[in-house]
Amino acid sequence: MSHILRKLRYNKIFFAMLILCAIMLPSIIYKTSESDRIAITVMLAIDKTENNEVELSIMYLTPQSSNDVNKSYTIATTTAETVENAISEIQLLIGKEVGLSHTQAIIFSTKIAEDNPLKYFDVFTRTNRLTTNALIILSESPKDLLTTHLEQSTKQSVSLITILEYNRKNSFVQNMNLEQFYSEYFDESGISLVPIINVEDNSDSSGQEDQSGGGGSKNSAENNEKSANSASGNEEQSSSSQSKEGTESAQGAADKEINNTGDIAVFEKGKLRRIIKKDDVSILNLLSGETEKSFIKIENVTNKFIKNADLYIGVRKKIITTNCDFVNGYPVYTVNLSIACQLNEIIADEYTLNSISVVDSQIGEITKSAIKDKIQEDYSKLINIAKEENIDIFTINKNFHRLWTKEWADYLLQLDTDDNFMQKVLFLINVDVIDNG
Partner 1 sequence: MKQLTSRQAGILIFFSVIALKAVVLPAIIFFLAGAGGYITIIFSLIFDFGLLLIYLWVMKNNPDKTFPQILEDAFGKTFSKIVCAIVFVYFMLKTFLIMKSVFNFFTKAVYDNMDWVYYIISTVFFLFFAINKPLRAFGRTAEVIFWIIFISINVILIITSFTMDLTTLLPLFPNGSVPIVDTGIKSAFGFGDYTILLFFMGNIKWEANTSKKIIIYAITAIGTIINFYIVFLCNFGYSVVNQNLAIADLSLYLDLSVTVSRLEWIAVFAWTMTLIIQMIMYAYCAKESLNQILPKKIQKISPFVVLLICGGVYLIISISIQVLLGFIFSYPVSIAAMIVQVLLPLLLAIAVIIKKRKENKYVSYTAKTTI
Residue 336 or residue 342: which is nearer to partner 1 going by CB?
A: 336
Least distance to partner 1, CB of residue 104, Å: 6
Q: How many CA atoms lie within 13 A of 295 on its CB side?
A: 13
**Is 343:362 a contact under the CB 8 Å cutoff?**
yes
Residue 40 or residue 313: which is nearer to partner 1 going by CB?
A: 40
Residue 174 or residue 239: which is nearer to partner 1 going by CB?
A: 174
Spatial separation of the C-alpha atoms in residues 360 and 303, rounded to whole Å = 11
Least distance to partner 1, CB of residue 187, Å: 5
Residue 175 or residue 355: which is nearer to partner 1 going by CB?
A: 175
Spatial separation of the C-alpha atoms in residues 52 and 81, rounded to whole Å = 8
Spatial separation of the C-alpha atoms in residues 130 and 322, rounded to whole Å = 35
**Closest to 297 (Cα-Cα) out of 277, 312, 319:** 312
Least distance to partner 1, CB of residue 164, Å: 8
Residue 3 or residue 12: which is nearer to partner 1 going by CB?
A: 12
Residue 49 or residue 177: which is nearer to partner 1 going by CB?
A: 177
Residue 304 or residue 402: which is nearer to partner 1 going by CB?
A: 402
**Closest to 196 (Cα-Cα) out of 146, 254, 149, 259:** 259
Residue 381 or residue 402: which is nearer to partner 1 going by CB?
A: 402
**Closest to 243 (Cα-Cα) out of 375, 102, 66, 59:** 59
Least distance to partner 1, CB of residue 170, Å: 12
Least distance to partner 1, CB of residue 128, Å: 4
**Closest to 135 (Cα-Cα) out of 87, 86, 197:** 197
Helices (H) and strands (E) in the chain, counts: 15, 16
191-195 and 264-268 as β-strands: parallel, antiparallel, unpaired? Answer: antiparallel
**Is 60:73 a contact under the CB 8 Å cutoff?**
yes
Spatial separation of the C-alpha atoms in residues 380 and 427, rounded to whole Å = 8
Least distance to partner 1, CB of residue 24, Å: 6
Residues of this chain that interact with partner 1 (CB under 8 A) are 12, 16, 19-20, 23-24, 26-27, 34, 38, 97, 99, 104, 125, 128-129, 131-133, 135, 161, 164-165, 168, 175, 177, 179, 182-187, 398-399, 401-403, 405
Least distance to partner 1, CB of residue 388, Å: 27
Least distance to partner 1, CB of residue 336, Å: 17
Sign (positive or negative) of CA dihedral 163, 169, 175, 179: positive
Residues contacting 33, CB < 8 A, separation 6+ = none
